[in-house]
Structure 1
Amino acid sequence: MDAAAFLRAAEALPLATDPREVLGPAGALVLAPHPDDESIGCGGLIAAASAAGLPVRVVVVSDGTGSHPGLPPDAIRPVRERETLAATAALGLPPEAVHFLRLPDRGVPAAGPEFAAAVEAILGLASPAPSAVLCTWRHDPHCDHAASFAIAEVVTRRLLGARLLAYPVWGWAFAHPIPGFPLPAPPLLPGPPRGRRFAIAPFLDAKRRAIAAHVSQQADRMGDAGAFQLPPEAIALALREVELLLEETP
């Protein structure tokens, strides 16, 4: 099946309401390719896990400075990190649970020495070991999302007993087109999808506040006419009452 059919089939996966059922007893290590992916893709699950007392750590892989190509990276990096700390606080996480690798936006490595160094850096932040590693879907149409997933695969293999779960961000556009958002040809995938949907209605307000905390992604406040802006349709998809966690084999 193609990616659109795969995701539509995934929208019928079993629905969970307990974060322990999805993450396991030792909580989660969440990899976000850019500042804001954690809130958009699995912010409701993060909030639910935090409320349930499960440990959650978030690692932001890239510095996110590509969102403002007209500004020096040193000008936007601290802004995006402050926004991420505000967003994760809205989800119930303390600042010490959030880490920034600061790899270059659109330059997250998919192989080579920098890839190996990223794996080791993340493993150094994964103690005590989580029972689940979360990252963007391998078929999300962004190079940093795919590279971060490749990193997550190796990290999960090194964390014996951990499960790998993928959350779509831009991949949702295959099944729910976003006006003006360009997509490659949909990949062909083996089915059926595996995983869980997670009900986030009790935590939807927290997720809404987390996404809103990424102000630089929703309004040009820094004088960069070429700045990226989250499409309203993408935000609406993120604020549905369920999140999708696809079971992956690392």
Structure 2
Amino acid sequence: MGGLRLSAPDHVFRGEVPIAVIAPHPDDESLGCGALLARALAGAGAHVICLTDGSASHPGSRLWPPADLARLRQRELQRALACLGGTARDLTWLGLPDAGLYRCDHDALAARLERIIADLGITHIFAPAIQDHHEDHQAAARATAALRQRRPDWSFFSYPIWSRWDDPDFPATIAPFAPVRLPPGPAATRKRAAIEAHESQLGRIVTDDPTGFVLPPAMVETFAREDELFWRMPA
């Protein structure tokens, strides 16, 4: 795995132990952890827990009301996992309200996550970085921090999405955490295909909401081509 600079157990990043990835929205798993997931799914296994239903990305669409958009985004996530070597069995879809995760009871969500992950026999968890500015990402990070308090015997890692894209001081922000850099390597093609599977977020499906969300092309290229970044979740 050329280029990997380790500050955490090597085997966690080589697919030698099963991992769980907590994603606030469908597409976060592919953007932030696509290569990591591809390695794990080709090895000891991986499971994605998607917290929200993704239904708030195009609020002005009449052709794609929230319930229909949520079903589409779930199908897109299943296709993304297939691109990474997984199946629908490797996904838990919680379907919580998109753009409303910050209103959830973090402790209750942590308890729910604990039951899911414990039943899978997984002890290595990847969750959004608290440095991400999106409220749903921060809520996911706080719920994961509550989970860490419940299960100090598990290992927890952060991965960045929005902070990597919109924080001009991002390198300095994460430097104290000694991040692991994981090159896409042989998984690059799978990762790009997984990102491309989220067509609704690339402006290819919902055509009647000009104010709806679209991933910036430059952001897609950054996450598709550059190393993935992870660090141990701070105490």
* TM-score, normalised by the number of residues in structure 1: 0.81
Separation in 2, partners of 1:19, 1:212 = 29
Q: CA deviation at 1:110?
A: 6.0
Separation in 1, partners of 2:152, 2:15 = 14
Q: Amino acid of the residue matched to residue 232 of structure 1?
A: P
Q: Amino acid of the residue matched to residue 89 of structure 2?
A: E
Counterpart position of 1:70: 60
Q: Amino acid of the residue matched to residue 33 of structure 1?
A: P
Q: State which of 192, 198, 201 in structure 1 corresponds to 2:185.
A: 201
Separation in 2, partners of 1:57, 1:89 = 12
Counterpart position of 2:11: 20
Q: Amino acid of the residue matched to residue 198 of structure 2?
A: H
The residue correspondences of 1:1-250 to structure 2 (distance < 5 A) are 14=5, 20-22=11-13, 26-51=17-42, 53-71=43-61, 72-109=65-102, 114-126=105-117, 127-174=119-166, 192-222=176-206, 223-250=208-235
Helix, strand or coil for the counterpart of 1:228? coil
Separation in 2, partners of 1:237, 1:165 = 21
Q: CA deviation at 1:25?
A: 5.1
Structure 2's unaligned 5+ residue stretches are none
- Whether the 8 Å contact between 2:22 and 2:126 is mirrored in structure 1 is yes
- Whether the 8 Å contact between 1:110 and 1:151 is mirrored in structure 2 is no
- Whether the 8 Å contact between 2:181 and 2:228 is mirrored in structure 1 is yes
What RMSD in Å do the two structures reach over aligned CA positions?
Answer: 2.6
Q: Amino acid of the residue matched to residue 106 of structure 1?
A: A
Q: CA deviation at 1:58?
A: 0.4
Helix, strand or coil for the counterpart of 1:65? coil
Deviates more, 1:98-107 or 1:122-131: 122-131
Over 3 Å counting, the alpha-carbon distance change for 1:21 and 1:57 in structure 2 is closer
Helix, strand or coil for the counterpart of 1:14? coil
Structure 1's unaligned 5+ residue stretches are 1-11, 178-184
Identity within the alignment, %: 32
